């Protein structure tokens, strides 16, 4: 005659821990998928505000090297290409965070279109690389804000 003795169910609650971690992971993935549509660059009160998830910041215009700022195509200017991600998010067509460039510079990037990027060096030893819908407009507004002259 066969006798079966089931194993006692766990009382540790590991299933709940696993469920909470799974929900947190799914929330993080949804956040990452929505993030590319939420960023912006704002010029206000003599500061540039980079509004991107996690890596956003406000930088005074006086800390930016505006005369050397320009619109670049990262596929043409290979020296400014993003080489190593040191702290950030890297997905196809969405690169946000801290990077090392091919020329060794440190950069805070928010790049969604590598062909239309505004390169803005700072006086703090890093550069900003941002993709915006109107890079020439941002560059002109930045120069106007820094000098008071219209461009």
Question: How high is the pLDDT of residue 151?
Answer: 60
CA dihedral 76, 133, 57, 146 (to 10 degrees): 80
Whether pTM exceeds 0.95: no
Residue 31 domain flag: no
Q: Which helix (H) or strand (E) covers residue 26, if one does?
A: helix 14-34
* Residue 121 in domain: yes
Exposed, middle or buried: residue 98 (CB in 10 Å: 0-12, 13-18, 19+)? middle
Mean pLDDT of the chain: 90
pLDDT tens-place string over residues 60-119: 999 999 999 999 999 999 999 999 999 998 888 889 999 999 999 999 999 999 999 999
Number of domains in the chain: 1
Q: Does residue 123 lie in a domain region?
A: yes
Give the domain extent around 104.
39-147
Report the alpha-carbon distance of residue 116 to residue 132 in Å, rounded. Answer: 7
116 domain residue, yes or no = yes
Q: Is residue 51 part of a domain?
A: yes
Task: Name the band, by pLDDT with cuts 50, 70 and 90, for residue 145.
Answer: confident
């Amino acid at each position: 005659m066969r006798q079966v003795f089931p194993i006692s169910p766990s009382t540790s609650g590991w299933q709940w821990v696993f469920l909470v971690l799974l929900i947190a992971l799914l929330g993080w993935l949804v956040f990452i998928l929505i993030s590319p549509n939420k960023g912006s660059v704002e010029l206000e009160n003599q500061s540039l505000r980079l509004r991107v998830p996690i890596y956003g910041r406000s930088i005074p215009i006086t800390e930016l090297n505006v005369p050397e700022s320009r619109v670049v195509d990262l596929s043409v200017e290979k020296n400014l290409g993003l080489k190593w991600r040191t702290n950030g998010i890297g997905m196809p067509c969405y690169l946000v965070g801290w990077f090392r460039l091919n020329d060794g510079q440190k950069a805070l990037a928010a790049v969604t279109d590598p062909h239309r990027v505004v390169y803005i060096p700072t006086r703090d030893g890093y550069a900003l690389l941002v993709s915006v819908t109107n890079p020439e407009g941002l560059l002109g507004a930045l120069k106007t804000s820094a000098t008071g002259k219209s461009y």
